[in-house]
């Protein structure tokens, strides 16, 4: 486990989970299943993987630019998927 602390309560107890993440930007939405997150067990604060968020954002804007087909779901990076299916 990583040794980082919650910004809000200072706890170092985290649990890894996969959730449905809804990305929104200027009134448009992209639903992303199996998004790996870390949740603070003390206060419930949810922390997102920066690399995962970046990929979601990239895909979102690719759809906006019509360089990728619009859909509700995106393909997560292989590494993230492996973390999710392992649970």
Query: Can you give the binding site for Zn ion, defined by CB under 5 A?
Result: 6, 8-9, 11, 40, 42-43, 45
Q: Which is nearer to Zn ion, 43 or 82 (CB)?
A: 43
| C-alpha span between 37 and 15 (Å, rounded) | 8
User: Closest approach of Cβ 4 to Zn ion, in Å?
Assistant: 11
User: Closest approach of Cβ 73 to Zn ion, in Å?
Assistant: 30
User: Closest approach of Cβ 12 to Zn ion, in Å?
Assistant: 9
């Amino acid at each position: 486990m990583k040794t980082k602390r919650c910004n809000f309560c200072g706890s170092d107890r985290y649990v890894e989970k996969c959730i449905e993440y809804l990305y929104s930007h200027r009134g448009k939405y992209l639903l992303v299943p199996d998004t790996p997150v870390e949740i603070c067990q003390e206060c419930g604060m949810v922390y997102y993987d920066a690399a995962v968020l970046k990929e979601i954002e990239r895909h979102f804007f690719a759809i906006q630019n019509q360089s990728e087909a619009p859909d509700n779901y995106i393909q997560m990076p292989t590494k993230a998927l492996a973390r999710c299916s392992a649970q």
